[in-house]
Amino acid sequence: MMNQIGVLVMSYGTPQSMEDIEAYYTHIRRGNKPTEEQLSELTERYEAIVGGVFPLRENTNKQVETLEQTLKQDARTEGTEYRCYQGLKHASPFIEDGVDAMAADGIKKAIGIVLAPHYSTMSVGSYIKRAEAKAEEHGIDMSFIESYHLHPKLIEALTMRVVAKLNDFEEAGAIRKDVQVLFSAHSLPSKIVEMGDPYPEQLLETSKVVAKQAGVDRWQFTWQSAGRTATPWLGPDILDTLQELSKEEVEDVLVAPIGFVSDHLEVLYDLDIEAKAVAKELDMRLMRIDSLNSDPLYMEALSDVIIRRVDEKW
């Protein structure tokens, strides 16, 4: 029998339908139901993005499919069958379902990877913990990719997107060097810093390298999408950053949400609707780089880290 490697591709997850939003939100809140007000606020955000559909589901499906094809096409995988399985953090198929599916197919060796390039104990770390526990139950030998935030192909894909939008700014009459580039990622509770979490540093590393390769001098990192809880979250938030930039009379802003790899609520609502509205009020022009989704370079970055890990381990 051909050598088989299972690849558990993990992603955040999104509801299947409008009726599923409550269960999804309850899962995010670790079993605590949202209030009516919280639920309708989230429902309205989904309605606002693309009329109540959930783009993350289709994007994740496509990423998993394309990654499997990319692995198959790589000459280094000849003689080994790579099979990709999906495991979502907050929706079905859950991470545990993905590991069960690998076990049902007789997979004995597997790699776990998250569709988020930067490591945090609260994000990628928690995906890994759940997959690890389930793999142990099934006796699957599993190795995890913790981060890939400086992979040259990821950097190239992001750089190309920054350059493309700077070109658009120029065509629209802006002065290229005056465009302020904002790299952004999902905020997390600020206690992660005291815990020595690598998340903020890794995000800065990606930002620095992309800025350098795209020839951008005028940039800064800012957080977005912080939770609405009483605990402090990492800042500054992008909406405050826009206010500050307006005081400095910045007119053109390019947002590069490097912590995300798909079109979904945090990009399509928090940036394209909320941040754009604030920018408009401040008389600023705001554009956003295109999301990676199933970009071939991104898929090659993922397949490269997976193949290398398999070679190292087995």
Strands (E), 59-196: 80-88, 109-114, 141-144, 180-186
Report residue 20 as tokens: 């599923």
Which of these ranges, 75-83, 247-255, 257-265, 278-286, lies near ligand FEC under the rule CB under 6 A?
257-265
- Closest distance to ligand FEC from the beta carbon of 226 (Å): 8
Using CA atoms, how far apart are residues 77 and 259, in angstroms rounded to an integer? 29
* Ranges within 3-62 binding ligand FEC (CB under 6 A): 12, 14, 25, 28, 42, 54, 56
CB 186 within 8 A of CB 224: yes
Q: Which one, 117 or 284, has the nearer CB to ligand FEC? A: 117
**Number of Cβ atoms within 10 Å of the Cβ of 105:** 11
* Ranges within 184-243 binding ligand FEC (CB under 6 A): 186, 188, 227-228
Q: What one-character-per-residue DSSP string does 15-37 give? A: -SSGGGHHHHHHHHTTTPPPPHH
Using CA atoms, how far apart are residues 286 and 289, in angstroms rounded to an integer? 10
Across-strand partners of 222?
A: 184
- Closest distance to ligand FEC from the beta carbon of 295 (Å): 17
Interhelix angle 296-313/152-171, nearest 10 degrees: 170
**Number of Cβ atoms within 10 Å of the Cβ of 298:** 26
Known binding-site residue numbers: 12, 29, 45-46, 127, 186, 266
Q: Which one, 229 or 249, has the nearer CB to ligand FEC? A: 229
Which of these ranges, 132-140, 216-224, 259-267, 305-313, lies near ligand FEC under the rule CB under 6 A?
259-267
Which of these ranges, 78-86, 103-111, 258-266, 294-302, lies near ligand FEC under the rule CB under 6 A?
258-266
* Ranges within 105-164 binding ligand FEC (CB under 6 A): 116, 122-123
**Number of Cβ atoms within 10 Å of the Cβ of 213:** 16
Q: Which one, 54 or 148, has the nearer CB to ligand FEC? A: 54
- For position 266 contacting ligand FEC by CB under 6 A, the verdict is yes
Q: What values do phi and psi take at 262, rounded to 5?
A: -140, 165
- Closest distance to ligand FEC from the beta carbon of 224 (Å): 10
Using CA atoms, how far apart are residues 74 and 17, in angstroms rounded to an integer? 36
- Closest distance to ligand FEC from the beta carbon of 61 (Å): 13
Given the DSSP bridges, would you call strands 80-88 and 3-11 parallel, antiparallel or unpaired? parallel
* Ranges within 65-104 binding ligand FEC (CB under 6 A): none
Known binding-site residue numbers for Fe(2+): 186, 266
Q: Which one, 252 or 259, has the nearer CB to ligand FEC? A: 259
Query: Which residues of the chain form contacts with ligand FEC (CB under 6 A)?
Result: 12, 14, 25, 28, 42, 54, 56, 116, 122-123, 186, 188, 227-228, 259, 264-266
